[in-house]
Amino acid sequence: MDNAKLLKLIAEDEGPKLDFKMYLDLDNESTKKELTKDVIAIANSYGGRGHLVLGVEDKTKQIVGIDPEAYSEERIQQIILNRCDPPVSIRVESFEIEDRALSVITIFRSHNRPHQMRQTGAFYIRRGSTTDYARRDEVASMLQQNSLMYDELMPVYHAKIEHLDMTDVNRYIKRLTGEICREDCQPLLCDNGLLYFDREDGVYYPTIGGLLLFGVHPQRLLPHTAIKIAYFTASGGLKYHYINGTIIEMLEAAMRYIKRRINDDNYPLAAIEIALCNALIHRDYFDVSREIVVLLSAKQIEISNPGPLYEGTPLNNVMRAPMPRRRNNWLYHQLVFIDSKKRFTRYNRGVQRIKQLTNDIGKAKFINMRKRNLFKVLLPGVDAVKK
């Protein structure tokens, strides 16, 4: 950081990675907590390093200056360290602009998210220029990104073993181990991720992944895991068709329905199937607010799923990587094992394959929307085939 870079920062508006403070009374306990909240929120927010500039009025950007001795790095480090878990890496620097002293706290990009306030256990995140509590799904997503939690292996406490299709489970276990799944095979199902044993109440519960692979109508318990297909009627209104079932059942039913709606043998349906395979594998199953959505129109086909690419994973890297990082790695490997049509291995490096399949009719687009927790695939519509 130098004066030129600092002046550029001051010219910018506050946002998820930038905050201005005119003055902080570090002898005041509530101010120490507010400082820690802002540092935690910036560290937990998407993007690279962030900055907290001290000595600048946030509305007018007027440089008012501070006493730099009151904001030593040692003192600020100690305040943050005592109140934040895990610790956030910061740096404190002093500058002089317009004969006034300023301090800049640089909050480095964190690979240990989510950070929380020790005293309260609260998690914070930046929403635009304000600090807010992180929602449950946002905390879960951060835990998952850092391999601290796997959503497909989480138990569903309102489910029972009876909600699994044991005929399919037995077929899976026999193929996996060569043995028949007997009445006392719950520990074996636990070892393979289909069940979770709660030691406190001594009960076995199906996992999210177990229900998605072998559940009997899993959307009764996990309604957000459906596929919603939207299309325009002759009058211009939108109609919706919901696809339920296990992942493989939904994939096959969705493709049958989409094929009937498109009704054109020249359209590269494999591109849609690849996009759906990717959506079902990579969707954020912690986000219970929406399903995978397929929007069919004459000009464009849109497939969207909750769960953007991980931070620090550019789309170009995903296209080139032979084994890209997956959000639900356990689920992917199970689908590779149980899918007799081998779609989840055949469609590896799916983004690149989608571009190849649609190259003759138009350009496929891929939109990574971290703020909305969405990933979208935009394909040419049926009209593109008729040109």
What does pTM read for this prediction?
0.73
Q: What is the CATH number of domain 3-134?
A: 3.30.950.30
What is the SS3 string spanning 81-150? Answer: HHHEECCCCEEEEEEEECCEEEEEEEECCCCCCCCEECCCCCEEEEECCEEEECCHHHHHHHHHHCCCCC
Distance, CA of 170 to CA of 191 (rounded, Å) = 15
What are the Cα distances from residue 341, in Å, to 91, 130, 255, 337? 53, 49, 14, 10
What are the pLDDT digits (tens) for 113-135?
A: 899 999 999 999 999 999 999 98
Most confident of 26-30, 173-177, 201-205, 256-260: 256-260
Looking at residue 276, its pLDDT comes to: 97
pLDDT at 58 over 80: yes
What are the pLDDT digits (tens) for 194-232?
A: 999 998 889 999 999 999 999 999 999 999 999 999 999
Alpha helices in the chain (DSSP H): 3-11, 29-44, 73-83, 136-145, 166-177, 186-191, 208-214, 247-262, 269-282, 315-320, 329-338, 343-346, 350-358, 383-386
Q: What is the CATH number of domain 223-386?
A: 3.30.565.60
β-strand 18-21 against 50-54: which pairing, if any? Answer: parallel
What are the pLDDT digits (tens) for 61-72?
A: 899 999 988 889
What are the pLDDT digits (tens) for 104-114?
A: 999 999 888 89
Please report which confidence band the pLDDT of residue 316 belongs to, taking 50, 70 and 90 as the band edges: low
Looking at residue 339, its pLDDT comes to: 93
Please report which confidence band the pLDDT of residue 236 belongs to, taking 50, 70 and 90 as the band edges: confident
**pLDDT average, residue stretch 79-94:** 93
Please report which confidence band the pLDDT of residue 141 belongs to, taking 50, 70 and 90 as the band edges: confident
What are the pLDDT digits (tens) for 9-27?
A: 999 999 999 999 998 999 9
Looking at 162-171, 179-188, 299-308, 375-384, which range is the least confident one? 179-188
The full set of domain ranges for the chain reads: 3-134, 151-217, 223-386
The maximal CA–CA distance of the chain, rounded, in angstroms, is 80
Q: Helices (H) and strands (E) in the chain — how many of each?
A: 14, 16
Looking at residue 52, its pLDDT comes to: 96
